[in-house]
Structure 1
Amino acid sequence: MPFLIARLAAVFAMQIQAVVVAWQVYDITRDPLSLAYVGLAQFVPMVLLLLPAGDLVDRFSRKRILIFSWSLQAGCSALLLGLSWRGSPDINLYYGVLVLFGCGRAFTGPTLQSLLPQIVPRSQLARAIAVNSMIMKIAVIGGPLLGGILYAVGGSLAYGVCLGCFVLALLLLGRVPVPYAETFTPVENSAWRRFTAGIVYIRSRPIILGALSLDLFAVLLGGVVALLPIYAQEVLHVGPEGLGALRSAVAVGALLMGLYLSVRAITRHVGLIMFIAVMVFGVANLVFAFSTMFWVSFVALLVAGAADMISVYVRTTLIQLATPDAMRGRVNAVNMLFIGSSNELGEFRAGTSAAWFGTVPAAVLGGVATLAVAGAWMWGFKTLRRVDRFSEVEA
């Protein structure tokens, strides 16, 4: 329970901060390209640090590494609090803090993914993943809503709440036991071979490679989250509260689907179901792209979130069951690199496309691209499509 509450608090902080930073940056610049740089500032340090971070996760205490990364992110919230309090108009200072925040996230992602199997037994891992994902979606729902409300009151208050959430997460994390942690056995390899071991392992497992790359390109090309501040202001004509609701819609859909999966887990045709979910995600984003009514946009994002939850559930379970504990940090580092690429680089793609072609055409192209990727991967990764049960994939 302390672990779940700690994660809940940390995700609350990240989600509140994501809404507030995006709105504040766009408020200062009124330039869609600035939203692209918000994603890029966090993505670049993640790319540079994820592989070394994965190696460290497999060699040292995962709980201590998580304490370090959350502490660094708490410091970033404190810096943003100071910038907002001063009313600084220098957008480069915000980008600089986001670069530092991206450094912290490079360690957070693989550590969290690798720590869960040390807390629960393997027999309960699939259900724990569903329950954990569902609970985390509570923060993803409430965070954006609260972030929009807090920003309407004042940006400084919002960043102060983020800082408080990170402090609470750190206090609770110290009480989390790790009864299933395995003793690390040193491997006499070069640093480069250790860093790239996760990539080599994933390349040797076509099912995992297909699942990761499907998510990478589907979200990279089809994500619309970065465009939400523009849609909120210029298409749907709602304020920061409306923006928070739109960001929460994705999480509401994911939460409802996570609740369903925690009660009735997917047991058959897992590969095919994942492909269908990605296609539904693409269609929902197309509906959002053309919508000019808030409730239609909200429902479309709700469906997109539910479909994405199915994809995340299948992909995460496959990775955890197919990876030995001694390599989880490095494999999950590659996984987080894929996720970071699809999210942060996807925001950059969406922002630049909106600047070049317009907001609505950019969103439409993204939805079409997602459907094309799903079709191509169904043909190119037949083994993944034919996976029936999770038990077919073992470490």
Structure 2
Amino acid sequence: MAAIKDPYIALKFPDYRYYITTRILLAMALQFQGVIVGWHVYSITKDPLSLGLIGLVEILPNFSVTLFAGHFADIYDRKKIALTCLTILMFSGIALYAITHTVPDGHKQIALFYIVIALTGFARGTLSPSLFSILTECVPKEHYLNSTTWNSTLWQIAIMVGAGSSGFLFAAIGYDAYLVMSVLIFFAIISFSFVSPKPHLTKKDAKAPILSSIKGGIKYVFSNQVFLGALSLDLFAVLFGGAVALLPIFAQDILAVGPQGLGFLKAAPSVGSFIMAAVNVYWPPVRNTGKKLLFAVFGFGVCMIIFGISKNFYLSVFILAVSGACDNISVVVRGTIMQTLVPADMKGKVFAVNSMFIGSSNEIGEFESGMAAKLMGVVPSVVFGGTMTLLVVIFTSFRAPKLKNLHFEEK
């Protein structure tokens, strides 16, 4: 496969640099929240279901608002919507800090945590369609593949740094780390304010009935075999392979590596994803794209099975890194499909449908993992999830031939 002519082309656009800086800061902040809240909750309850409930209470408001958010992202000022949601996320970190330091009862803290996380779910569900729609306006269409790859690469670096440092940050300053989350989002707001306003639809377009508009986005997704196949692969892989939600249990009870070890486990997928993303920048998956996608998701399922049965910390970190590399291919391919194939006036709605399924699969996957771990045991539940992922890939390879034979044109 030939390398693209200029692997840094997307980074030469100022709006894209401001946009990606915002994404980096936000990703790091949310990693701090995820790692520290997960550790905090499990330390109090010692119940895997309590970890699953974190995902559930976040996804319910996220799920309820996402489709409407996609409609609004196509007719209103996307930048204002995004800035409002970022502000809510900033104050959520302050709220977590305040709860930790003012509520002495641990179980009352958890109940209040769930409320704050539900609020962040609402904000993230509203934010995502607008943020994606703005991304497609930051670079010309011919550079979408490059911008998607850099978006994934730098996002994974942020997750890697955020997750990897969260354990050390927690060890150094304890639950004051929640304030660090808010500071990062504050700087994300400043960076995003420099992104130039992006066009939205005219008032005439805005008169379309909201339910009809949402229905149009859903119809587009389910009538496009390539898009639906890629979405389904990621949906079920994340749903059944959601071992990440159980990492506090592996860190405390199985591998016995403490919060620092949890940070490394949490960061490992991003390390692998970053390495694969760096490869994709120079050698993007433009040939045999569909087959590479199927192979990558199959590899992700195999990684989950190996991780589930591993009792060695270093093997577990390595295999999680490999799973991240596999996942990155899926992210890049699906993101490029969305940017390339979806019409401009449908991007918000279509991304909302995608976000509703893929975004929700992360949180529902966390809940499924917590419930399965409680019913089946931690290790059997992870092995079961990986096995189901393999079966989904095999099924998709037969049911979505257009996806299997997908190629992107090289630029």
Deviations 1:55-102 (A, max 9, x none): 110011111111011111111111001011225421211101110010
Question: How do 1:1-395 residues align onto structure 2 when only pairs under 5 Å count?
Answer: 1-88=17-104, 89=106, 90=108, 91-178=110-197, 181=199, 183-184=201-202, 186-187=204-205, 188-389=207-408
Measure the CA separation in 2 of the matches of 1:326 and 1:156: 43
> Offset of 1:183 from its aligned partner?
4.7
Q: Percent identity?
A: 37
2:398 alignment partner AA: W
Q: TM-score, normalised by structure 2?
A: 0.92
> Offset of 1:220 from its aligned partner?
0.3
Cα RMSD of the aligned pairs, angstroms, is 1.3
Counterpart secondary structure, 1:16: helix
Deviations 1:88-126 (A, max 9, x none): 421211101110010001012212211111111101111
Q: Which runs of 5+ in 1 are unaligned?
A: none
| Count of residues paired in the alignment | 390
Deviations 1:207-258 (A, max 9, x none): 1111111110111012210110001111111101100100100000000111
Contact 2:75 2:201 in 1 (8 A): no
Contact 2:75 2:200 in 1 (8 A): no
Q: TM-score, normalised by structure 1?
A: 0.96
Contact 1:288 1:300 in 2 (8 A): yes
Counterpart secondary structure, 2:194: coil
> Offset of 1:184 from its aligned partner?
3.4
Counterpart secondary structure, 1:118: coil
Find runs of 4+ consecutive structure 1 residues off by over 4 angstroms: none
Deviations 1:123-178 (A, max 9, x none): 11110110111011111001112211222234432101000001000011111125
2:170 alignment partner AA: Y
Contact 2:19 2:135 in 1 (8 A): no
2:377 alignment partner AA: G
2:146 alignment partner AA: R
Deviations 1:289-324 (A, max 9, x none): 110000000010000000000011111101111111
Measure the CA separation in 1 of the matches of 2:57 and 2:409: 37
Measure the CA separation in 1 of the matches of 2:144 and 2:391: 32
1:314 alignment partner AA: V
Contact 1:318 1:390 in 2 (8 A): no
Contact 1:5 1:172 in 2 (8 A): yes
Counterpart secondary structure, 2:136: helix
1:291 alignment partner AA: S
Measure the CA separation in 2 of the matches of 1:364 and 1:186: 52
